[in-house]
C-alpha cells in the first residue's frame, strides 16, 4: 500500500510541475503575440492552427504509446521538445511598423502685423487625419501649428521657441504584418503545439492505469495538484512581469520570465517523470482499436459534448485576456490573480468530482459544465472593470474542472482494454483541438 501511495505522490508532483510550466506561458501567449505587433485576426488564426494540431497530436502519440507501452518515454520526449520550441519565441522580432518616433516641435509666441491680408495654412495635418481610435497614448495637449503668409509683414516682437517632445506609436495594419514576425510565430507554434498537447492526456492515462479500475474516482485528487501549480505560478509570473517591466522604465511588457519559467518547469517535469511507474499492458493494434472506438455510439455522442465544451474554453483562452487589457485598471498582476482565482475553484471541484459523479453520473456533470461555461461567456461581455474578471473566474471550477474530471474518468471507463491513452488522447484532442480551434477561429472574427 505504501508503494502505491508513493507512486501517486510522484503523479501529484508531475501534475504540479507540468501545469506550473504551462501557467508560465499558455495564459500569456495571446497577449505576448499582441505585444510584438500581431492583430486580433492573426492571433485567432494562430490559435486555430494550434488547436488544429492539438486535434491530431494527442491521439496519435497516445495510440503509439498504447501500442508500444512507453507512456513515460513519450512524456519526457514531448516535454523537452515542447520547451525547446517555446523558449525561442521570446526572440521573435517585433512587427517592423510598430516604431516609436521622437519629433521635436517648436512653440512660437509671435505677434505679426501685416499691412494687407492674412493667409493661414495649417501645417500639421497628420494628427487630424488619424482616426482617434488609433491614437495609443496622448501624454500632452497639442495644437496644430499655422503658417502665416502676408504681404510686407512688420514683426512687432521677437520670436521665442521652446522645444517639446511628441512621442508617437504607429498602429499595426493588417496588410503590413503577414511577414517575418507572423511566420516565425506560426512555425514555432506548430512544433510547440504538436509536442505540448500530448503530455496532458499521457499524464492522465498514466494516472488512470496506475489507479486501476477500482480507484478511477480518485483521478481528481491527483489532477487538483495541477491546478495548484497552475494558479500559484501564473500569479507569480504576472507579478514578476509587472515588477520587471517597471524596473526597465518602459510601458511595453517584457515577458522574459514567462519563457524562463516554462523552460525551468519543463526540465523539472521531465526529470520527475523518470520516477513514474506505469503498468505494462497488451493493447490491440492501432487500426483495429481506433475502429472499435469510432463504431461505439456512446463514444461519438460523448465526443460531441466534449467538442462544445472545448469551444467555450477556446474563446476564453484566445481572447479573454486580450480583451481584459482594454478594461480600466488592468495589469499583469490582475490577470495572474484571475488565473489564480479560477485555479482555486478548480481544487475543490477536482477533489469532490468522484463523489459527485457517483451521485448524479458523468453525463449530468457534462451538461452542467456547458451551462456554467455559457454563463461565464455571457458575463465576460458585461464587464466594466478589470477587477470584475476575478468574480467571473470564480465559475471556472464548475465550468472546467468538474467536467474535465468527468471527461477523463468517463473516457477511461468507455475505453476498451489497453486503449486508455488512445481514448483519453482522442478526447483531449477533440476538446483542446477541434473545440478550441473553432472557439479561437470564430472568436477572432467576432472579436474583430
Backbone phi and psi for residue 429, each to the nearest 5 degrees, phi listed first: -65, -40
Domain containing residue 241? 2-95+175-447
Query: How many other C-beta atoms lie within 10 A of the C-beta of residue 389?
Result: 24
Backbone phi and psi for residue 170, each to the nearest 5 degrees, phi listed first: -75, 145
Same structural domain, 62 and 207: yes
Query: How many other C-beta atoms lie within 10 A of the C-beta of residue 125?
Result: 10
User: What pLDDT, on a 0 to 100 scale, did the predictor assign at position 284?
Assistant: 55
Same structural domain, 9 and 62: yes
Cell of 66: 498504447
Three-class secondary structure of residue 153 per DSSP: strand
User: What pLDDT, on a 0 to 100 scale, did the predictor assign at position 59?
Assistant: 82
User: What pLDDT, on a 0 to 100 scale, did the predictor assign at position 45?
Assistant: 86
Cell of 394: 470564480
Three-class secondary structure of residue 142 per DSSP: coil
User: What pLDDT, on a 0 to 100 scale, did the predictor assign at position 163?
Assistant: 44
Alpha-carbon distance 448 to 446, whole Å? 5
Q: Over the stretch 176-192, which tens digit does the pLDDT of each residue have? A: 456 889 999 999 999 99
Q: Which of 362, 350, 356, 354 is nearest to 306 (CA)?
A: 362
Residue that is last in its domain, among 124, 152, 169: 169
The residue count for the chain = 448
Same structural domain, 308 and 219: yes
Q: Please list the ranges in the chain whose pLDDT falls under 50.
A: 1-2, 98-144, 146, 157-176
Alpha-carbon distance 291 to 236, whole Å? 45
Cell of 224: 487538483
Q: Considering its fold, how many domains does the chain have in total? A: 2
Same structural domain, 107 and 212: no
User: What pLDDT, on a 0 to 100 scale, did the predictor assign at position 285?
Assistant: 57
Q: Which of 66, 83, 90, 65 is nearest to 75 (CA)?
A: 65
Query: How many other C-beta atoms lie within 10 A of the C-beta of residue 153?
Result: 14
User: What pLDDT, on a 0 to 100 scale, did the predictor assign at position 154?
Assistant: 52
Same structural domain, 88 and 110: no
Same structural domain, 65 and 118: no
**CATH code: domain of residue 398:** 1.20.1250.20
Q: Which residues pair with 120 in a beta bridge?
A: 148
Compute the chain's Rg from CA coordinates: 27
| Reported pTM | 0.70
Alpha-carbon distance 5 to 55, whole Å? 33
Backbone phi and psi for residue 296, each to the nearest 5 degrees, phi listed first: -85, 115
Same structural domain, 158 and 182: no
User: What pLDDT, on a 0 to 100 scale, did the predictor assign at position 136?
Assistant: 41
Backbone phi and psi for residue 29, each to the nearest 5 degrees, phi listed first: -60, -45
Same structural domain, 275 and 182: yes
Cell of 183: 511566420
On whether the CB atoms of residues 218 and 111 are closer than 8 A, the answer is no
Cell of 270: 521531465
Q: Over the stretch 223-258, which tens digit does the pLDDT of each residue have? A: 999 989 998 898 888 888 888 888 776 667 888 889
Alpha-carbon distance 53 to 55, whole Å? 5
For the chain, the straight-line distance linking the first and the last C-alpha, in angstroms and rounded, comes to: 56
Do strands 161-169 and 100-108 pair parallel, antiparallel, or not at all (unpaired)? antiparallel
Same structural domain, 153 and 193: no
Amino acid at each position: 500500500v505504501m508503494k502505491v501511495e508513493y507512486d501517486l505522490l510522484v503523479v501529484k508532483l508531475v501534475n504540479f510541475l507540468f501545469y506550473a510550466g504551462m501557467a508560465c506561458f499558455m495564459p500569456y501567449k495571446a497577449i505576448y503575440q499582441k505585444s510584438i505587433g500581431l492583430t486580433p485576426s492573426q492571433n485567432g488564426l494562430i490559435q486555430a492552427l494550434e488547436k488544429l494540431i492539438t486535434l491530431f497530436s494527442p491521439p496519435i502519440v497516445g495510440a503509439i504509446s498504447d501500442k508500444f507501452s512507453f507512456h513515460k518515454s513519450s512524456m519526457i520526449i514531448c516535454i523537452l521538445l515542447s520547451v525547446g520550441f517555446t523558449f525561442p519565441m521570446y526572440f521573435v522580432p517585433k512587427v517592423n511598423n510598430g516604431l516609436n518616433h521622437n519629433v521635436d516641435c517648436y512653440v512660437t509666441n509671435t505677434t505679426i502685423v501685416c499691412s494687407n491680408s492674412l493667409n493661414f495654412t495649417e501645417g500639421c495635418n497628420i494628427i487630424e487625419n488619424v482616426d482617434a481610435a488609433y491614437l495609443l497614448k496622448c501624454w500632452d495637449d497639442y495644437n496644430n501649428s499655422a503658417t502665416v503668409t502676408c504681404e510686407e509683414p512688420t514683426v512687432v516682437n521677437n520670436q521665442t521657441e521652446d522645444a517639446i517632445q511628441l512621442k508617437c506609436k504607429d498602429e499595426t495594419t493588417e496588410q503590413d504584418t503577414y511577414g517575418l514576425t507572423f511566420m516565425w510565430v506560426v512555425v514555432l507554434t506548430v512544433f510547440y503545439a504538436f509536442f505540448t498537447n500530448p503530455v496532458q492526456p499521457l499524464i492522465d492515462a498514466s494516472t488512470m492505469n496506475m489507479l486501476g479500475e477500482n480507484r478511477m474516482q480518485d483521478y481528481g485528487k491527483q489532477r487538483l495538484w495541477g491546478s495548484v501549480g497552475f494558479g500559484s505560478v501564473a500569479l507569480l509570473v504576472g507579478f514578476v512581469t509587472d515588477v520587471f517591466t517597471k524596473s526597465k522604465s518602459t510601458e511595453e511588457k517584457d515577458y522574459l520570465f514567462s519563457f524562463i519559467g516554462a523552460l525551468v518547469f519543463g526540465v523539472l517535469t521531465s526529470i520527475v517523470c523518470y520516477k513514474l511507474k506505469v503498468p505494462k499492458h497488451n493493447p490491440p493494434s492501432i487500426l483495429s482499436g481506433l475502429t472499435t472506438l469510432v463504431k461505439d455510439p456512446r463514444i461519438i455522442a460523448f465526443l460531441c459534448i466534449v467538442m462544445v465544451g472545448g469551444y467555450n474554453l477556446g474563446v476564453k483562452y484566445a481572447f479573454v485576456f486580450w480583451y481584459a487589457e482594454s478594461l480600466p485598471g488592468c495589469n499583469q498582476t490582475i490577470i495572474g490573480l484571475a488565473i489564480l482565482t479560477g485555479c482555486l475553484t478548480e481544487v475543490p471541484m477536482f477533489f469532490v468530482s468522484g463523489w459527485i459523479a457517483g451521485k448524479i453520473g458523468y453525463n449530468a456533470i457534462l451538461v452542467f459544465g456547458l451551462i456554467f461555461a455559457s454563463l461565464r461567456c455571457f458575463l465576460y461581455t458585461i464587464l466594466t472593470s478589470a477587477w470584475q474578471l476575478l468574480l467571473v473566474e470564480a465559475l471556472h471550477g464548475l465550468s472546467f474542472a468538474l467536467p474535465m474530471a468527468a471527461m477523463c474518468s468517463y473516457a477511461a471507463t468507455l475505453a476498451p482494454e489497453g486503449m486508455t491513452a488512445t481514448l483519453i488522447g482522442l478526447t483531449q484532442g477533440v476538446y483542446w483541438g477541434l473545440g478550441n480551434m473553432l472557439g479561437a477561429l470564430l472568436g477572432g472574427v467576432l472579436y474583430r
